[in-house]
Amino acid sequence: MEDKIRNLKKGQTVAFISVFISLGLAIMKGIVGYLFNSQVLIADAIHSAADLMTHAASGFGLWIASRAKTTRFPYGLYRAETIACLLVGVFIFMAGIDLFKEGTHKLFHLGSATPFPIFPIAASLISSVAGFIISKMESKVGHTIGSQSLIASSKEAFMDIFTSLAVLVGILMVYYRIPYAEGGIILIISLVLVKIGAENAWIALLILMDANLDPDLENEIGERIKDIRGIKGVGTVKIRQSGPFKMIECVIITRPLLSLYKAHEVADKVEEMIAENYDHIDSIFIHVEPDKKKNLRALIPVKENLGIDSVVDHHFARASGYLVLKLKDNQTELVDFYKNKFLRKKEHLGVKTSRCAIEYEIDVLLTASIGEISFHILKSNMIDVFKAEAGSSVKETIDDYYANKLKRLGEPDHLIEESQISKMLPHGHN
């Protein structure tokens, strides 16, 4: 949280620096425009005054947003920045409308001859350079801290470069007494102000109404969540903007047999993934729901592949092969059979066969016996282990599972020491 507050204060500093620069530009252009009778430059001074309000509102909003959370405002005051952005957008829009009226009046008015406008031209050039500096500064910090108001201000400041150049051209055109020049340039500036004001106000309104402003990010987070072990699917992912920060809400679908402890562990993994990969996240809310379809994958170690009539082997890691089944609504579907390719290996049989089972994305293991290593590897990957009866058929075992007659194992059948001894026996356990 300290980093977020530090970033907000960094944004405040940049915004207030921009305020002083814009204030200086507005005063300079206003005075020069008045002294040299340049209505175009005076219009640009009004434009700079609008910029000043934008930067000031951004800085004020970030200052309010950096206040600590309280009992009355448990989610913080981040939206103060958005409200400030809305008010400034309305102000700029109205200033653009007034300037449009002035431009319309000047459109058919040809000013009197004046000396070569050295100072108005210099003021426009200085304004262009200042606009470039402000734009780069605000854009860099705005994207770093995720401040929408700073990013909007940086875009508007970048537009100032071209506006100032247009003003420079207008000053020269007025000097050479080209018809419609002065009024035309003022109209262009007014339309720029109207556009900027409308966009800022509209974006602020969308944020305040919790509109979906970044569907691509929602889809990206949803796809990343699906890759986390233990998650069967993603219900919804919602992102709402609150000032410079985002609030994430998502519903994840887990296995129906997942314990509360494991479900909480999966939710923690989702939260960690989002926090590590995405900046400007203030809070993450994860809601866990079990898969209502109860579509499970089961693995059963068997002596040979006879389909549903296969016989359950005495061992997990030392079984001849494994049946992969889909269990849904008391219906059983044979998905696959694979042989145990690690039988000739003398070491780490439990580790290798467990990893192979995990690759099949199974939900439950029905086995007559399992060693300590295999058990904990499977349980750490959120696979439930049930005690089956060796020698019974797969069909009988599945029927017992549906009838809740199989015991869910909370610990392995035998310890590592017993597994090491049993390796030397014909039917050693692992």
pLDDT in tens, 146-169: 776 677 778 777 877 887 888 888
User: Residue 417: pLDDT band by 50, 70, 90 thresholds?
Assistant: very low
**Can you spell out the DSSP letters for 15-57?**
HHHHHHHHHHHHHHHHHHHHHTT-HHHHHHHHHHHHHHHHHHH
- The residue among 111 and 36 whose pLDDT is bigger is 36
Share of the chain above pLDDT 70, in %: 90
User: Residue 114: pLDDT band by 50, 70, 90 thresholds?
Assistant: low
**Span 269-278, pLDDT tens digits:** 899 999 888 8
- The residue among 418 and 188 whose pLDDT is bigger is 188
Tell me which of 236-240, 308-312, 412-416 is least confident.
412-416
Q: How far apart are CA 359 and CA 374, in angstroms?
A: 14
pLDDT at 428 exceeding the cut of 50: no
Mean per-residue pLDDT, 301-310: 92
User: Residue 66: pLDDT band by 50, 70, 90 thresholds?
Assistant: confident
Mean per-residue pLDDT, 259-271: 83
Mean per-residue pLDDT, 10-14: 82
Closest alpha carbon to 364 in 387, 384, 346: 384
User: Residue 22: pLDDT band by 50, 70, 90 thresholds?
Assistant: confident
Q: How far apart are CA 120 and CA 34, in angstroms?
A: 10
User: Residue 429: pLDDT band by 50, 70, 90 thresholds?
Assistant: very low
pLDDT at 427 exceeding the cut of 50: no
Closest alpha carbon to 142 in 14, 2, 274: 14
Tell me which of 85-94, 108-117, 141-150, 269-278 is least confident.
108-117
Q: How far apart are CA 419 and CA 430, in angstroms?
A: 5
**Span 322-336, pLDDT tens digits:** 999 998 877 889 999
- The residue among 289 and 335 whose pLDDT is bigger is 335
Q: What angle do CA 181, 120, 116 make, to 5 degrees?
A: 75
* Ordered structural domains, the chain, with CATH: 2-208 (1.20.1510.10), 216-290 (3.30.70.1350), 296-422 (3.30.420.130)
